[in-house]
Structure 1
Amino acid sequence: MVISRGQPVSRPGGFGTFEDVPDQAFVRNRLAIRTDWKPDVSLVQRYAVPTHGDPIRIQESIIGPQDDPVLGHLPGGATQLEIMNFADRARLIPIGDPVEIS
């Protein structure tokens, strides 16, 4: 999951990817994360899904294109998972520390 500086790893967003995230250009273009949604995309945090308790519902899909107000057309095309229940985000288990991407 791409996170911003200062975003607590205990408060992940609702979307992630199964892809390796090599750099911020990948985040903007293939993950199509718009600058007005998330201005800072400098960190990647891995999470595990707990295997105990109620299942966490996710939806897997391919990211569609977006039009960014600053960068223009973002093509998308990478894998995406959406955590369907807001409360389930807090159940994700951080793996290690966030990794900076250039």
Structure 2
Amino acid sequence: MAGQSFRSKLNPHLEFIRAARLREETWEAIAAKIRESGTTTDATQVCKFLKRRNQGKRPLGFAPEATVETPQVVSSLPIEEEILPPTRPKLVLKVTQPTHTP
């Protein structure tokens, strides 16, 4: 039986959901706005949908999407300067014998 591949009904709303979460909107508020556009959903479905998209999991049997390699940033500082904190001057204590006066 041939049919269409799996597509979430929330796929068209992905960018809206991400933007709304960046604005710290609640899941319920996001779901309500999506329902206003005519898609039936609830807060739990929206939350799980975004979690799946952020983890990169796909339904079983689907090929992975092409990934773009990001260039590595190479620092001009030597490794020692990047990892180690700046050194502090050493504190030297001088011990002297007490003088007794009878």
When normalised by structure 2's length, the TM-score is: 0.25
When normalised by structure 1's length, the TM-score is: 0.25
Report 1 or 2 for greater relative contact order, CA contacts < 8 Å, sequence distance ≥ 6.
1
| Higher share of residues assigned helix | 2
Structure exhibiting the larger radius of gyration computed from Cα positions: 2
